[in-house]
Structure 1
Amino acid sequence: MNRFWEKVKTKNILVIVLAVFIGIQFYRPEIKQKPITGEIHVPSDVRAILQRSCFDCHSNQTDLKWFDQVAPAYWLVTDHIKKGKEGLNFSEWDQLASPAQNAKLWEAFNQINLKAMPLKSYELLHPEAKLSENDIRILKNYVTSLAPKQKPDTAKVSAYNKQLQQINTIHTVAPKPQLPTALNGISYIPDYKNWKPISSTERLDNGTMRIIFGNDIAVKATKEHKTNPWPDGTIFAKVAWEQIIDSDGNVTTGAFKQVEYMIKDSKKFASTKGWGWARFLSPKLEPYGKTADFANECISCHRPMKDNDFVFTSPINH
């Protein structure tokens, strides 16, 4: 008798599970199919890799397999496609200026090289998307080829000298202006010029030299090897200059390009993994971002380093 009721109970549970499974298939968030406005033009071997491993989530040419369209997997796929195209869309490549295109490719390669992309969950069901060492080498060679050719450039030297003269004039004549502020409320911090260098980094795609400075809290954490996680109050300033070569072949910093800040406050910036981001461009210190959501771009770029408190570069020992 007990076995009979157990069978009935099991059957009822299976019926309920089946009914729920069928029911959820009717909730299907829309994947908007937009037109291709401007495709990326790269060598055929590079395009083949991008198309195989990236296009499903980063283009308007999504090719869903039958198992991608079964809920709840479909919900996850839809979310990945939405977020993927917001950060990088190879089908709307014409909407980016050439320097921005190179920067996007560099960031994409960085994610691939750090094994953060393609997503492991995607590779599991799409094994053809997994990149081989040869694939990665092809992408690296192409991205590296985009770097400006370094040679003596009197125009860059002249631009740097002109910028330096303008900055000196502003500092000696004009009153101190109000500090520019990013849309997320973070203001430019001029005191970074008095901080100590923490590390350096390079960008092969745009020919810039970059130094990362840290405030006193960052320096103290470095000395005490307490950098994972970094303590609240830590601030980094990553400063980028144009790289120039003078007539003697010396490589030096040229015109100021931008300064980026990472500010650690685990409560205030909880929605972006405890870090606040801001970027100020050119000597005019124009805040980056069209909306306050620009910080999502930053956290997406730093996500491969989640096990290192989202910080890419290792500090220099002090």
Structure 2
Amino acid sequence: MRTNRKPLYQRKAFIIIMILFLGFVGIQFVRPDVPNPPVTGDLEVPADVKAIVQRACYDCHSNNTNLRWYDKIVPVYWGVASHIKDGRADLNFSEWNKLAPADQKAKLWESINQIISGAMPLPSYTAVHTEAKVSPADLAVLKNYLASMVHNKPADTAAINAADKQYQHWEKNETAIAKLPTAANGIAYIPDYKNWQPISTTERFDNNTLRVIFGNDIAVKAIKENNIHPWPNGAIFAKVAWAQLQDKDGTTHTGEFKQVEYMIKDDKKYASTYGWGWARFKTPKMVPYGGANVLFTNECMNCHKPMAAEDFVFTLPIKH
């Protein structure tokens, strides 16, 4: 007797496929809202700069998000919605007017620095949205624009006097600290950073500062052994910033001391802050940044979040 009934394994496979299909259809209705609020104050820059920023950044960092059809498919949509929410919270070009001029310049510098480091746009995003990639030519346009905002000229009398006054206080030991200051999250100022090895330098030409990054013995050992993915517990960085002075011959050198920032690796103690302890101390008096509010660490984390693939570290050790 002949039967058209399918074998049992085929029927089971069909049932499983139908369950998966219905499940896939069902989750399409679980969609967090991605609103596009009104633009209150858009970024105002030259047209060539604006075109690059719009193409590379606006989908996640503005109120003019353009979702493609493939962005709208769940579960991809969930990730896209999360990126947009986080991106707008960190930097929203549609609310540019809410930032003070100095903060606008700093955000542009930070954004371009993250593009240079390869942290932004997110590689996972450009893998699909290839039009968002920033080419070397695009990057040159952005860097030239930012450089045009900085007017390199010999330091004025006030800047020189401030550095000289600070140095005189140091000579008289008037900047000595009797008790180590402590940030709101419990991290104390570490004076021994002055004996650590310099591992990199950076320049913030948006605010005319020079920075040297020092590493403790554990950090230096990790660099020598290429053990930095992730960095080992106990590694500490100290980033020290000075005002940038330029003499009449065009030679740049350090001026007034501004601050020292620390990153301390302990993936258990600081598990809630990406495995790093953060602290900043300003002026020669080493005043803790953020006062008694421990939420200052959110600012540090938001800045370093794009460097998750590098254990949240921007520092590229100088190779000898």
Q: TM-score, normalised by structure 1?
A: 0.85
1:179 pairs, out of 178, 181, 197, with 181
Q: Which runs of 5+ in 2 are unaligned?
A: none
Q: Which moved more, 1:282-291 or 1:252-261?
A: 282-291
Q: How many residues align?
A: 312
- Matched residue, 1:135: 138
Amino acid across the alignment from 1:186: I
- Report which stretch shifted further, 48-57 or 189-198: 189-198
Name 2:53's counterpart in structure 1. 50
Q: 1:113 to 1:102 in 2, by over 3 A?
A: same
Q: TM-score scaled to structure 2, two decimals?
A: 0.84
Superposed, which structure 2 residues align to 1:1-318 within 5 Å? 3-165=6-168, 171-172=173-174, 176-177=178-179, 179-181=181-183, 183-221=184-222, 224-225=224-225, 227-228=227-228, 229-247=230-248, 249-289=250-290, 291=295, 292-303=297-308, 305-306=310-311, 310-315=313-318, 317=320
SS in 2 for 1:125: coil
Secondary structure of the corresponding residue to residue 210 of structure 1: strand
Measured after TM superposition, the shift of residue 55 of structure 1 is 0.4
CA distance in 2, matches of 1:184, 1:67: 42
Deviations 1:106-162 (Å, cap 9, x if unpaired)? 221122223332223322432322223321221121122233423242221022223
Q: 1:225 to 1:150 in 2, by over 3 A?
A: farther
Distance in 1 (alpha carbons) for counterparts of 2:122 and 2:175: 53
5+ residue gaps, structure 1, are none
Please give the root-mean-square deviation of Cα atoms over the aligned residues, in Å.
Answer: 2.8
Q: CA deviation at 1:272?
A: 4.2
CA contact (8 A) 1:272 1:295 kept: no
Q: Percent identity?
A: 50
- Residues 28, 74 of structure 1: 8 Å contact kept: yes
Q: CA deviation at 1:208?
A: 1.2
Instruction: Call closer, same or farther: CA 1:173–1:67 in 2, change over 3 Å.
Output: closer
The answer (yes or no) to whether the contact 1:199–1:316 under 8 Å persists in 2 is: no
Q: Which moved more, 1:39-48 or 1:86-95?
A: 86-95
Structure 1 residues 228-266: Cα deviation after superposition (integer angstroms, max 9, x where no partner): 254422222110101112345442211122211111223
Does the residue aligned with 1:54 lie in a helix, a strand or coil? helix
Do the aligned partners of 1:154 and 1:246 also contact (CA within 8 Å) in 2?
A: no
User: How many Å apart are 1:227 and its aligned residue?
Assistant: 4.4
Amino acid of the structure 2 residue aligned with 1:151: P
